[in-house]
């Protein structure tokens, strides 16, 4: 391997780009899968009773927040780019990981809880808020993850 | 400001006044009829329950009919509806009128139901015909009339075989053994191949023998004459005819009767009232001359209700205080902010009748936490203005009103926090002025100093939890358990405060110089608190060893206290997310520049959609997470809950509000 090329590629900025990309990539994948899981359950309920559309739609939307958090983290990292040192770049790369990885898993798991909560709505109309509360219990970990990501970004 | 005190009521009236009295009580709407009777020994056998199951079943049947008819009619209903559907007000006289006409109106209902029945018969007949067309469609290539199944020398066979057979292969095999045959593929729907076979009459059985190997089966429609196309046309004509008839006969009846809808709605409500009345009567006991009603009513309204009843009817109206441990139904009486958060508490559980109603204490926390998590003054302004506008302009049901009031207060709290943090639709002013101007935060900018807000969030959490412990102490003092209040509240304060002082120097953003010495004090408090708790928390146990160990075990609550406090970091995270996403939306909108028309158009588009989305998702998050902080971190410290809601006998209508000349005995 040519050392010259390697050191040209691995710059602070490039590492930060990598962090931003990973942060959104993983969280976005997680959210899309989570929303898919909830969405399948939701369309099942709407087939039976179209009047429940709004209730199940709210539940379906819940696992999308991880993607948004990933987006926020990525945007904040991108805002730092421009002549970063190797160390700063590496820190920003690390900053992308918490929301990326926790977002990936929590979105999928949250999607499952959302799908189960859609089951609540299917049987008992008007119990939607309880389902939302149960679903948002999973959200907490994604919130902590974006918190940590933001705190790390703040250090650069 | 609390759980309303209830009195136990024993009411004795004359049988002949029974209907009038129950209706009167429904209008007053303050008495819950209790079914659990303790009948004194000497009266047992004298008092019988009233059997009106038949009547209730009859009413239910009428209600069901009306429901069906109303749902049919409402599809054609052309009355103007308000955005927030509220019930119409009708006068008592109008209502009386409907009641008197109920049997003639029920005849209208039956007539509509009859029409609806023939309507659905037409529909099912039309469906059946459509299905038969679907069955014929694969045969539309068949030009030979269906009744023709042989000529002088050939026989004509229509049939199907499973699609996995290869048609060319089948044809090759058939032609190889029966040369005098012709096979034709008409249609293949992926499951079956539809085929026409023409065979010389002499070889019919031989050919069929071969075809059998391919699971060929004959298809005959005995009732069909003419070609497939003829038949499909004929059925289509018939469907048209039926549809026309349906339109003219059945639908017309429904459309013609739409004018009855408001009367039928009133009739529906009147049946509901009668049902409520009969169900209350079912809970009464009585002899042939008198009846007894037992129940609950709010103590402060009791005297007025008593005067109202005893002055009109011959009756006995006796009130008692509930027994020491007796559970009574829970009615909350709060004003202003505390009233508006009642629905948040109700979602969790109503308070136990003997504990402090948490709404007044919880309300400011709920609203402030909501505001901190939504944290954008622009969003807060929109929330407060829109909910205020709806409250001012529209007539609303009580629960809608409560919710909108809550949103109004939450909006104000959001404006408060948003202006402290300098977030107005994200960084709108900064973006639009190309960085020349910006609205400065009144306190500090959390995006620049997240650690500072984190520290504050945790501090708010500590305050919240401490208040929770204080409510617990207040509850214990109310029950005159003063020693428990010291052991279960004060000692925990000592321990928790010690723990907080000890870890203070590790909290980011705290200047260690300012808190010198606190860590030392913290250590002592921690030790003193721990010793006191070990000594007291096992006091319910008999054995000294298990006393000691449950005392030690209780110290584990320190861990859950710490995790409870950390849970408040969501205040920062959600708050930050709103303003950061808001700023990102502004930046993205401004990408096309703001010095040309197209750029401004793009900006407006992105601005509106982006901020609406951000507002909705974060307002939902703020509401739910603020609720959660109350349910788990706050209520967990003191709240018993499990109260049974006060469900008085009252007029409970769906479509109309009947003007009530009764004064409000509860509030004045």
Residue B345 with chain A: CB contacts under 8 Å: none
- Give chain A's mean pLDDT: 89
DSSP state letters, B82-123: -SS--PEEE-HHHHHHHHHTHHHHHHHHHHHHHHHHHHHHHH
Evaluate if residue B545 carries a pLDDT over 90.
no
> Residue B423: what pLDDT?
92
pLDDT at B668: 52
- Would you state the pLDDT for residue B40? 66
In which band, very low, low, confident or very high, does the pLDDT at B467 lie, cut at 50, 70 and 90?
very high
The arithmetic mean of pLDDT across residues B629-641, rounded, is: 89
DSSP-based three-state secondary structure for A141: helix
| Interval A114-136: pLDDT, tens | 999 999 999 987 788 888 888 88
pTM score, whole prediction: 0.79
Q: Is A117 on the interface with B (CB under 8 A)?
A: no
Domain that residue A45 falls in = 3-154
**Structure-block tokens of residue B382:** 């929109």
pLDDT tier at B82 (50, 70, 90 boundaries)?
A: low
Mean pLDDT taken over chain B: 88
Residue B515 has pLDDT above 90, yes or no: no
Give pLDDT tens digits for B475-493: 999 888 999 999 989 999 9
Q: Is the dihedral of CA B207, B208, B209, B215 positive or negative?
A: positive
The arithmetic mean of pLDDT across residues B410-414, rounded, is 96
Nearest C-alpha of chain B: how many angstroms from A7? 32
* DSSP reduced 3-state for B187: strand
Task: Compute the distance between CA of residue B650 and CA of residue B277 in angstroms, rounded to an integer.
Answer: 9
CA distances from A86 to A12, A73, B25, B532 (A): 4, 19, 80, 54
Polymer length in residues for chain B: 668
- In the 8-state DSSP scheme, what is residue B350? B
A45 inside 8 A of chain B by CB:
no
Task: Report how far residue B585's alpha carbon sits from residue A71's, in angstroms, rounded to the nearest whole number.
Answer: 11
pLDDT of the residue at A82: 86
Mean pLDDT of B440-455: 86
- Interval B607-634: pLDDT, tens: 999 999 999 989 998 998 899 899 888 9
The pLDDT tens digits of the residues spanning B287-316 come to: 888 888 889 999 988 888 898 888 888 899
Question: Which of the residue ranges A70-79, B43-52, B154-163, B554-563 would you say has the lowest mean pLDDT?
Answer: B43-52
> What's the rounded Cα separation, in Å, for the pair B88 and B79?
12
Contacts of B621 in chain A (CB under 8 A): 65, 136, 139
Q: At what angle are helices B450-478 and A128-154 packed, to 10 degrees?
A: 140
Check CB contact under 8 Å for A133 and B454. Answer: no
Domains contained in chain A, number = 1
A49 touches chain B (CB under 8 A): no
Q: Which residues contact B556 (CB under 8 A, 6 or more apart)?
A: none
pLDDT confidence of residue A128 = 82
Q: How many CA atoms lie within 13 A of B89 on its CB side?
A: 7
Rg over alpha carbons for chain B, rounded to the nearest Å, is 39
SS (H, E, C) B446-498: CCCCHHHHHHHHHHHHHHHHHHHHHHHHHHHHHCCCHHHHHHHHHHHHHHHHH
> Do residue A150 and residue B573 have CB atoms under 8 angstroms apart?
yes
Note whether B621 and B373 are within 8 A (CB). yes
8 A C-beta contact, residue B228 and residue B614: no
Measured CA to CA, the distance from residue B141 to residue B188 in angstroms comes to 12
Report all structural domains of chain B as residue ranges with CATH numbers, in order of start.
Answer: 1-50+284-327+647-668 (3.30.70), 150-219 (3.30.70.2750), 336-479+562-638 (no CATH)
Question: What share of chain B in percent tops pLDDT 70?
Answer: 96
- Using alpha carbons only, give the angle B402, B407, B408 rounded to the nearest 5 degrees: 95
What is the predicted pLDDT for the residue at A57?
A: 84
Give yes or no for residue B466 having a pLDDT over 90.
Answer: yes
- Asked if A66 has any chain B CB less than 8 Å from its own CB, the reply is no
Mean per-residue pLDDT, B140-149 = 84
Q: Does A148 touch chain B (CB under 8 A)?
A: no
**Residues B572, A147: C-beta atoms closer than 8 Å:** yes
What does the pLDDT read at residue A25?
A: 95
Q: What is the average pLDDT across A71-98? A: 90
B573 closest CB neighbour out of A58, A143, A154: A143
Chain A residues whose CB is inside 8 A of the B576 CB are: 147, 150
Asked if pLDDT for residue B124 goes beyond 70, the answer is yes
Q: Which of A20-34, B137-151, B383-397 has the lowest mean pLDDT?
A: B137-151
pLDDT digits (tens, 9 = 90+) for A23-65: 999 999 999 999 999 999 999 999 988 888 878 888 888 898 8
Query: Which of the residues A151, A152, A153, A155 would you substitute to probe the B interface, choosing the one with the greatest number of B C-beta atoms within 10 Å?
Result: A151
Task: Tell me the CB-side half-sphere exposure of residue A105, using CA atoms within 13 A.
Answer: 7
CA-to-CA distance for B390 and B83, rounded, in angstroms? 10
Higher local confidence (pLDDT), A29 or B71? A29
Domain holding A47: CATH number?
A: 1.20.120.610
| Closest partner CB to A76 (pick from B573, B580, B631) | B580
Yes or no: say if A25 and A103 are a contact pair by the CB < 8 Å rule.
no
């Amino acid at each position: 391997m040519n050392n010259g090329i390697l050191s040209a590629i691995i710059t602070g900025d490039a590492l930060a780009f990598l962090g931003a990309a990973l942060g959104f990539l993983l969280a976005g994948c997680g959210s899309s899968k989570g929303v898919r899981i909830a969405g399948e359950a939701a369309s099942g309920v709407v087939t039976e009773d179209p009047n429940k559309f709004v209730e199940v739609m709210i539940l379906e939307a819940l696992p999308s927040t991880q993607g948004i958090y990933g987006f926020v983290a990525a945007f904040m990292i991108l805002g730092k780019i421009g002549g970063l040192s190797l160390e700063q770049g590496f820190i920003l790369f690390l900053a992308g990981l918490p929301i990326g990885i926790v977002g990936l898993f929590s979105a999928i798991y949250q999607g499952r809880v959302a799908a189960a909560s859609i089951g609540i709505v299917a049987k008992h109309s008007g119990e939607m808020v309880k389902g939302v509360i149960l679903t948002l219990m999973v959200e907490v970990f994604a919130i902590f993850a974006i918190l940590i990501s933001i705190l790390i970004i703040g250090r650069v | 400001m609390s759980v309303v005190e209830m009195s136990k009521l024993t009411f004795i009236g004359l049988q002949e006044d029974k209907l009038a009295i129950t209706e009167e009580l429904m209008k007053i709407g303050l008495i819950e009829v209790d079914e659990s009777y303790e009948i004194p020994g000497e009266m047992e056998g004298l008092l019988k329950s009233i059997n009106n199951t038949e009547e209730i079943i009859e009413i239910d049947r009428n209600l069901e009919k009306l429901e069906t008819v109303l749902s049919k009619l409402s599809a054609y209903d052309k009355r103007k509806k308000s955005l927030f559907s509220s019930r119409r007000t009708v006068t008592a006289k109008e209502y009386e009128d409907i009641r008197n006409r109920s049997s003639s109106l029920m005849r209208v209902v039956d007539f509509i139901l009859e029409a609806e029945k023939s309507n659905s018969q037409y529909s099912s007949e039309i469906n059946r015909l459509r299905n038969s067309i679907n069955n014929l469609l694969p045969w539309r290539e068949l030009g030979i009339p269906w009744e023709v199944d042989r000529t002088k020398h050939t026989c004509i066979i229509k049939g199907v075989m499973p699609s996995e057979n290869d048609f060319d292969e089948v044809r090759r095999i058939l032609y190889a053994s029966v040369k005098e045959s012709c096979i034709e593929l008409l249609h293949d729907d992926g499951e079956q191949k539809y085929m026409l076979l023409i065979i010389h009459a002499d070889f019919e059985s031989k050919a069929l023998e071969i075809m059998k190997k391919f699971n060929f089966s004959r298809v005959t429609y005995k009732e069909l004459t003419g070609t497939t196309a003829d038949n499909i046309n004929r059925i289509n004509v018939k469907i048209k005819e039926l549809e026309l008839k349906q339109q003219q006969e059945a639908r017309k009846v429904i459309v013609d009767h739409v004018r009855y809808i408001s009367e039928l709605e009133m009739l529906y409500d009147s049946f509901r009232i009668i049902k409520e009345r009969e169900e209350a009567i079912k809970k009464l006991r009585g002899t042939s001359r008198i009846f007894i009603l037992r129940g609950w009513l709010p103590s402060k309204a009791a005297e007025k209700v008593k005067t109202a009843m005893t002055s009109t009817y011959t009756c006995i109206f006796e009130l008692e205080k509930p027994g020491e441990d007796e559970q009574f139904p829970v009615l909350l009486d709060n004003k202003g902010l505390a009233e508006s958060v009642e629905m948040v508490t109700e979602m969790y559980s109503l308070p136990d009748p003997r504990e402090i109603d948490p709404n007044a204490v919880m309300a400011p926390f709920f609203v402030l936490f909501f505001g901190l998590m939504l944290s954008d003054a622009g969003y807060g302004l929109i929330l407060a203005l829109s909910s205020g506008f709806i409250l001012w302009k529209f007539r609303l049901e009580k629960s809608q009103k409560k919710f909108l009031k809550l949103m109004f207060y939450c909006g104000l709290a959001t404006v408060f926090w948003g202006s402290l943090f300098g977030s107005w639709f994200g960084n709108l002013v900064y973006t639009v002025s190309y960085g020349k101007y910006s609205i400065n935060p009144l306190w500090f900018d959390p995006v620049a100093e997240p650690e500072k807000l984190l520290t504050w969030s945790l501090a708010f959490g500590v305050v919240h939890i401490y208040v929770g412990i204080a409510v617990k102490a207040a509850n214990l003092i109310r029950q005159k358990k003063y020693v428990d209040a010291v052991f279960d509240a004060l000692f925990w304060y000592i321990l928790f405060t010690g723990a907080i002082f000890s870890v203070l120097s590790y909290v980011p953003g705290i200047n260690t110089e300012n808190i010198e010495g606190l860590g030392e004090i913290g250590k002592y408090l921690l030790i003193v608190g721990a010793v006191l708790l070990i000594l007291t928390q096992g006091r319910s146990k008999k054995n000294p060893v298990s006393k000691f160990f449950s005392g030690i075990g209780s110290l584990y609550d320190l861990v859950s206290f710490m995790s409870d406090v950390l849970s408040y970091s969501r205040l920062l995270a959600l708050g930050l997310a709103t303003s950061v996403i808001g700023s990102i939306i502004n930046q993205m909108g401004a990408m096309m520049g703001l010095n040309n028309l197209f750029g401004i158009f793009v900006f407006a588009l992105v601005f509106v959609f982006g901020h609406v989305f951000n507002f909705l998702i974060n307002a939902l998050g703020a509401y739910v997470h603020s609720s959660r902080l109350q349910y788990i971190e706050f209520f967990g410290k003191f709240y018993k809950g499990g109260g049974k809601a006060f469900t008085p006998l009252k007029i409970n209508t769906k479509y109309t509000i009947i003007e009530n000349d009764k004064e409000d005995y509860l509030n004045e």
